[in-house]
Amino acid sequence: MAGSQSGDLKMEGWLHIIRSNRIGLQYSSKRYFVLEDHLLKSFKSMPISNLQEPGRSAIIDSSIRVTDNGRESIHRKVFFIFTLYNSSNHNDQLKLGASSPEEAARWIQSLQEAALKGGPYSGNDAAYSKSRWQSFRSSGSNNENHNNSLDWTLYSSTKMDRVTSDVVAPSPWTIFGCQNGLRLFKEAKERDSHRKWDDHPAIMAVGVVDETSEAIFQTLMSLGPSRSQWDFCFYKGCVVEHLDGHTDIVHKQLYSDWLPWAMKRRDLLLRRYWRREDDGTYVILYHSVFHKNCPPQKSYVRACLKSGGYVISPVNEGKQSVVKHMLAIDWKFWKSYLRTSAARPITIRMLERVAALRELFRAKQVKYPSDNLSSGELIRKVRLHQSVEDGAIDMCTQIEAGKTKETTSEVMERAPSEHSSLLGLNDAADEFFDVPEPTDYEQSEAGWTSDFGPEISQVYIKDTRHPKLSTAAVFVKKLHGLAVQKRGYMDLQDMTREDGICCSYGNTLPKDPTCTLPCSWTAAEPSTFLIRGENYLEDRKKFKAKGTLMQMVAADWLRSDTREDDLGGRPGSIVQKYAEQGGPEFFFIINIQVPGSTTYGLALYYMMSSPVEDSPLLHNFINGDDAYRNSRFKLIPYISKGSWIVKQSVGKKACLIGQALEMNYFQGKNYLELGIDIGSSTVARGVVSLVLGYLNNLVIEMAFLIQANTKEELPEYLLGTCRLNHLDAAKSVPVKV
């Protein structure tokens, strides 16, 4: 997409710099950005030649991180926000906005690839320690035993994994019919040998729509008048509260004419969460919540959506999309005997909106002389090559052979002080200069419309300023309090807490191999997870894992008012007890922390008795710097028991955690601890806040490994696995300060 055959990297196009003025209100300034190799340049207008000097520039190297901040409305314009920041200096940051999620995704991927390949001086940082390059140096540890701080093989390996799942698991869905061209599935219940329907069955409709996943996503997110063209259930709706770029609270009022006779109107108050996967799949998830600003209304009965949403996956080279729409809803009938007889057909009727969506886009493919169907909210076609007069963008241009390589090299060879930091790109000195934008009418005809605008009277928007950034891309503000439990809703942060007590680190979460004890752990079956085989570089095949390198020996489930780092180095911990004995045991600790007004921490302890040197890949990881570690540590998640909405939000695909979240490393004589900050990503925070809401109804399985990228490192092996059985936030152990 953004690289030429020579291996160079180039990306260019119009973006908006998002700033805050003196009174804290956000505004945007349009600039033309060019990313070439490791140099990000900013222009006030589209450059007319490759020799034109940029207004500002910055180097993108291994210390630069990119985070996806999601969707925001600024002065009634919808932007898809992403932020660049320096991992060694969080104040050195640049917040940018793209006009579509696909455009933002391309920029994020290109910037991440540039950072992974390292800057031009990454191998000789010391020579520039006294210059302005200091803020862009590698954020590695002080350990000098590992020569290769940057993983040069990772750039090619990021495009290898096309498997949609790295977990071997049976499908929970069973087909039971076909209606209006949609396949209908029901979810099999746990321990339900008779496959009976319950009072509020989870049902899914699956169909193919002849449109891009982005266009369908835009249509589904809209709460404006255009929704009436396909959603026969929808009367009107609004955004009640904007939580962050990926999460908001929406209120939907439904018509009654599609409901059974004499059935009163229904409405829904939903927490809506969305994200885009690397393959272009969009996920939209909903569940019912309470909100003080939107109480139940007299003329409506508030239905309860236990879980629901859409998964829009591109097929046929992106020309078509498979749309999955799932609902598990309690319609709140006043007579209990009506539930089983009436709930099922009403839910199926609502799922038929997928067929209406399909027909909407089929009709739009017909070339009418005058298209009166569009309300300006539906499709924004991203045009790759347009003129300056059109105010357009050349979003993704490949480098012509040899045309700009020499120019870029000359720019790179300048004195380091000539290059500005990210703060330089974000300089507000030109605050009052901006590129003219299309009129509101022109923009509405081709772009996204805001659901947050003043035209919706009930809208309440939370302050979305981000004065300080602590995030990384995909998995700021406090953890969302609105969460769904099996019975009702509650805020985890408002739960009754015990006074802090002293705890023995490594013993706060009990082990239960039988998986019958709530709030316990055991090791998961390794064969559940797929890992790269010996010939993966040639055949791209993955195989079931046969075992683990380490043994899981302990776990902690903690809560505190602050972060709890370096648990392995604390006196009295299981790690220090082994250290005092002077044995050969080495501990690998994974400390997952969810920040908020209360910080929840899950620490998993893995131990090996054989020498670390016998496992070269692990040895390199332990002795490598942070840039190397971030490019290699991988997690495979799996919700083996739980609601569809949680399974869908977590997924079953391996993730390089260090590229998605901020990680801190703590090393001692006999241990290495990985501190994973869930709060460093809005995407991850949204997923985890959802998981916490259902926590005591879930069985969570995870596997950890170090990604193998070369022939010598293959095949991969698991470091360890875990299975967490029905964790309960109320049973977390408070840490005494």
Nearest to 73 by CA among 637, 612, 454: 454
Q: Tell me: cis bond preceding 637? Omega within 30 of 0 counts.
A: no
Q: How confident is the model at residue 447 (pLDDT cuts 50, 70, 90)?
A: low
Mean pLDDT across the stretch 399-406? 39
C-alpha distances in Å from residue 148, one per residue of 392, 489, 632: 41, 50, 13
Is 286 in contact with 269 (CB distance < 8 Å)? no
Question: For 251, how many CA atoms within 13 A lie in the half-sphere containing its CB?
Answer: 21
Domains of the chain, residue spans = 10-161+383-438, 173-364, 483-734
Q: With bands split at pLDDT 50, 70 and 90, how would you rate the model's confidence at 284?
A: very high
Give per-residue burial for 517-529: e unless 16+ CB within 10 Å, then b: eebbbbbbebebb
The answer to whether 705 and 713 have CB atoms below 8 angstroms apart is no
CA distance 644 to 128: 52
Q: Where are the beta strands (DSSP E) in 133-246?
A: 173-179, 182-187, 203-209, 234-244
- pLDDT of the residue at 502: 52
CA-derived radius of gyration, the chain? 26
CATH of region 10-161+383-438? 2.30.29.30
Task: Give the pLDDT band of residue 246 (cuts 50, 70, 90).
Answer: very high
**Residue range 173-364, CATH number:** 3.30.530.20
CA distances from 689 to 192, 208, 545, 678, 725 (A): 29, 31, 30, 10, 18
C-alpha to C-alpha distance for 378 and 583, rounded to whole angstroms = 65
- d(C-alpha 445, C-alpha 447), whole Å: 6
The pLDDT of residue 681: 80
Q: What is the band of 645 on the pLDDT scale with cuts at 50, 70, 90?
A: confident
What is the average pLDDT value for the chain, to the nearest integer? 77
Beta strands in 210-288 (DSSP E): 234-244, 247-254, 266-276, 282-288
Q: Which residues contact 65 (CB under 8 A, 6 or more apart)?
A: 84, 85, 86, 87, 115, 471, 472, 473, 662
CA distance 255 to 263: 11
| pTM of the predicted model as reported, rounded to 2 decimal places | 0.75
> Tens digits of per-residue pLDDT, 168-203?
988 889 999 999 999 999 987 665 433 444 557 789
Q: pLDDT tens digits, residue range 406-436?
A: 444 444 444 444 445 666 676 555 555 556 6
Ordered alpha helix ranges (H), 388-543: 405-412, 422-425, 440-446, 536-539
pLDDT at 520: 96
Q: Residue 409's CB: how many other CB atoms inside 10 A?
A: 11
pLDDT tens per residue, range 304-351: 999 999 999 999 999 999 999 999 999 887 655 455 556 889 999 999
